[in-house]
Structure 1
Amino acid sequence: MDDLMAQLDSRDQNVQAESATVLNDMQVNKAAATPPPPPTPQNDESKARARYKARQARKAAALAEQYAPSDPEADARLKKEADDEERMIKRVCDERGLEIFEINPDGHCLFSAVADQLAILRIIPPGQANYATCRHAAADYIHSQPDIFLPFLPAIGGEDAVGATSQEGLMTRADFDRYCLTIRDTGAWGGEPEILALASAYNVPIHVVQGGTPPVVIHQPFGSSQQGNATDKHVVHISYHRRMYGLGEHYNSLRPKRTLSETMKSVFTGT
């Protein structure tokens, strides 16, 4: 009797294995026979969302690198990338008579860098030159122009997220409102949407110097044809770093270079 039961169990297992193989072959054949979806043309809005998603992916990768096990080869590669980036940014700064003023890497760096520049340009008083002022300005401007900024902001959780609109996965209005509050009241990193908002809120071009191509990215106020040039003094200059401090994305303020006499005066007066 035991031998008979063992034979039956063995037969059941063989049948199950054969069935699984047949089902797998059917699924493979079905997938091979299914034509790929037709390509869809990319417009400016989808490109903007793609850039936003790429930035989010880079941020996640940067955070992952901080907690990854030490790898001498990877560390050496990152150091070289950081050195190359610093050299390229310094070259552009030298051409424009600028120097890096380092901003604290605390999540507010974009807003602190722009605030420093706005004070130098006397657009805002020194007492208001802080990240909180610029966070409020950016959030308020974005919130006042949903038709402009929604294309830059994919739905939270992706295009297939519950509650995404039918327009290729854009944020819902409720998510958009929450996004603006997050930018205003937390230490969330700012990026391209916030730079565009600050340029428009303060009606000043913002030039972002980076270690990539192009070396200078110009953000002008919405509805304005002014871009400013390399010698224009009424321009906000900030630098964008991907490898500085090994923390991923970071922004610094680019101040005009001081003469020797100005530097000596600063040493003795603390200004």
Structure 2
Amino acid sequence: MQDHPPNTDDGLMDDLLAELDSRDQTVRHESANVLLEMQGNQEDTVADKAQPATKKQDSKSRHEARQARKAAALAQNQAPTDRDADARLEREAKEEDASIKETCDKLGVQIHEIPPDGHCLFSAIADQLALLNILPPAQANYVIVRAAAANFIYTHPDDFLPFLPSAFGEDGVGATNAGLMTPQQFEQYCMTIKDTGAWGGEPEILALSRAYKVPIHVVQGGVPRIVEHNPGPPPRFFAKAARISYHRRMYGLGEHYNSLRPKNAISQVAGKIQSAFS
């Protein structure tokens, strides 16, 4: 992948998207308003740059348009909701939390909270890689892990292209075919994962599992309770696994990852004593 100079507007967009995850409702609403304003400005900019119908927009214009649409969608999610909806979300959050904690107790692990800054998946996995002595502590950070995910995806396009969203295939507006990303779009996707605060998901988890040759187990509130991502086909045995938790309702926008660290001996004994008397 070629390195590209950072874009100030893109950096601001990343910061604002991260702030939409804030626990502070005022911060979320202020960020949402700025994002909506940026959307309007970017749509005007893209319109000014548009070429005649016989020519395609350049890649930067398309990227700006996609960022604007994403920002608008996320910002609109911050609109005030009614009390019934708030109560439902609060109930779902508590149910999810209880389910995840129950699984954690069975595994003998506890949640180590990761900041909701847009890098949570990569920071959570970095924390696990340090615990497993796969990465030295000085390198166990989201910058290193993002680069590892992006580089692995970029060097294994056949394994990942079918699972990545294409702006012009079945994931695009008004699409009539299941087209894949173009080489340019694929490179841009990898650069975005590497250099911005873009959220990571299933493709990045699988890439990191294979890059570091370690299973990554994701504990969640839904079914199944544990989703396993393995670097090789079963029934290969792995002596250790990285464990993270996936939360849909924990923060403002929901989706968030934490690291799961082993409980210390005192905590385990205290838990057993409490269970014996419950």
Q: 1:64 aligns with which of 61, 70, 76?
A: 76
Is the CA contact 1:242–1:250 (under 8 Å) kept in the aligned structure 2? yes
Q: Which residue of structure 2 aligns with residue 250 of structure 1?
A: 256
Which whole-Å CA distance do the structure 2 matches of 1:160 and 1:259 have between them?
48
SS at match of 1:86: helix
Which AA in structure 2 matches 1:185?
Answer: D
Alpha-carbon deviation of 1:123?
0.2
Q: Which residue of structure 1 aligns with residue 146 of structure 2?
A: 135
Q: 2:170 aligns with which of 154, 159, 164?
A: 159
SS at match of 1:87: helix
Alpha-carbon deviation of 1:62?
6.2
Q: 1:84 aligns with which of 78, 91, 95?
A: 95
Which whole-Å CA distance do the structure 1 matches of 2:177 and 2:74 have between them?
30
- Give the 5 Å matches for 1:196-207: 196-207=206-217
Alpha-carbon deviation of 1:69?
1.8
Which whole-Å CA distance do the structure 1 matches of 2:72 and 2:236 have between them?
35
- Give the 5 Å matches for 1:22-101: 64-65=76-77, 67-101=78-112
Alpha-carbon deviation of 1:161?
5.0
- Using structure 2 for the length normalisation, give the TM-score: 0.66
Moved over 3 A (4+): 58-64, 222-228
Is the CA contact 2:250–2:256 (under 8 Å) kept in the aligned structure 1? yes
- Aligned positions, number: 199
Gaps of at least 5 residues in structure 1 are 1-57, 263-271
For the aligned residue pairs, the C-alpha RMSD in angstroms reads 2.7
Gaps of at least 5 residues in structure 2 are 1-69, 269-278
Q: 2:187 aligns with which of 157, 162, 177?
A: 177
* Identity in percent: 61
Q: 2:128 aligns with which of 117, 126, 129?
A: 117
Which AA in structure 2 matches 1:93?
Answer: C
Q: Residues 122 and 244 (structure 1 numbering): CA distance in 2 closer, same or farther, change over 3 Å?
A: same
